[in-house]
Amino acid sequence: MNITTAGESHGKGLFCIIEGLPAGLTLDLAEINEYLALRQTGYGRGARQKIERDEAKILSGVRDLRTLGSPVTLAVWNRDYANWKDYMAPEGCDVSRRTLTKVRPGHADLTGLKKYGGTDARNILERASARETAVRVAAGTICRQMLRELGIEVIGYVRSAGGVTDEKEYAFDELSGRLDELYMMDKYVQARAMAVIDECKDTGDTCGGIAELRVRGLKCGFGSCMTSAQKLDGRLAGALMAVQAVKGVEFGLGFGAAVRRGSAVHDEIYYDEEQGYYRKTNHAGGVEGGMSNGEELVIRLAKKPIPTLMRGLNTVDYVSHEAVRAATERSDVCSIKAFTVIAESVLCTELSKVVLERLGGDNLAEIKERYERLPK
């Protein structure tokens, strides 16, 4: 399966082509739009979310809500394009207005200009913007629906926001009770995190956080120990690192494994006739030797603070070379809840690729049959 996205933040819309989806998958369009709506919510979001009302449109590859096996094309149109058409229209526009030369630290602005040329960082930021993730959420929700058909479930929650961390551990089934404002589990921890976000807003600053993703129902043997390119943790980490603002990915104990002794890190193996092989702990986060081991996948992502600060940071004007304060665009103070929704979707997408590569098949029925035959 291959997924390609296109579109600019203030262009006509965001678009996606999904190649390799099996035929016979019934799509739940309401769920796709529900996840798009969730991506726009969360404590600390900015004004852009009040303009857009994201909704996915299926342009090809589906008939009567069932996939045909041909490429599926999705579109999420930008309402804000009406306000930007004079400066963004591909057919012709006034490129001398709405330019950005006060390059922002932490963004793609400066490096992108050096790489692609020109003097207007808008040509860079329009594609580098996290607005692009809207269509990735739409595509990821379709992949989520396919995984669900196999009994594979994906969910995430916010473990830390603004430096306020929930140290408790939660069972998979508990995560459906995550709180709406920030996707945290503990209302008291969330209230403290929201206070930090308020402080950042008052001072023109931003903050990041940590999201934890969990996968249940993935059988053992996905990925490979035979070639480094096919290691499951490597592929999932690579896909998740490609999400805007991610600065770190860890599985299971992650960095914590580096400070423990081996006896407190490695998951001991047991066997009985009823369960077969099993483990009492899951420090590995469901991956051993680059392959799923049948336990839950446990993945945590570190998200940096949004680099567009309303108070601006010290920088240089790309044209005049003068010292200035960085440009400001409509932005969020904290987008950790939306980030978790995005990360879930990207995980669903890459996991679907891995699953389909192992199982093969052109229609959902034969893929389900092949998955059923695999050992747990």
- 208: domain CATH number? 3.60.150.10
pLDDT at 309: 87
pLDDT in tens, 271-309: 999 889 999 999 999 999 999 999 999 999 999 999 888
Number of structural domains (the chain) is 1
Among the listed residues 249, 220, 251, 255, the one whose alpha carbon sits nearest the alpha carbon of residue 343 = 249
Among the listed residues 254, 283, 289, 290, the one whose alpha carbon sits nearest the alpha carbon of residue 268 = 283
Cβ proximity of 141 and 35 under 8 Å: yes
159: helix, strand or coil: strand
* One-character DSSP codes across 32-81: HHHHHHHHT-STT--THHHH----EEEEESEETTEE-SSPEEEEEE-TTH
**11 belongs to a structural domain:** no
pLDDT at 308: 85
- Enclosing domain of residue 334: 99-373
Residue ranges of the chain with pLDDT lower than 70?
A: 47-51, 329-330
**28 belongs to a structural domain:** no
**263 belongs to a structural domain:** yes
**333 belongs to a structural domain:** yes
User: In Å, what is the CA distance from 305 to each residue of 25, 246, 309, 311?
Assistant: 38, 10, 9, 14
pLDDT at 330: 64
| Residue 291 CB contacts under 8 Å (≥ 6 apart), including other chains | 220, 221, 222, 223, 224, 225, 231, 232
**301 belongs to a structural domain:** yes
pLDDT at 49: 57
User: What is the distance between the alpha carbons of residues 134 and 346, in angstroms, rounded to a whole number?
Assistant: 11
Q: Alpha helices of 227-363 — where are they, by DSSP H?
A: 232-241, 336-359
**250 belongs to a structural domain:** yes
Cβ proximity of 78 and 12 under 8 Å: yes
**23 belongs to a structural domain:** no
**237 belongs to a structural domain:** yes
Give the predicted TM-score (pTM) of the model: 0.96
CA terminus-to-terminus distance, the chain: 24
User: What is the distance between the alpha carbons of residues 301 and 237, in angstroms, rounded to a whole number?
Assistant: 9
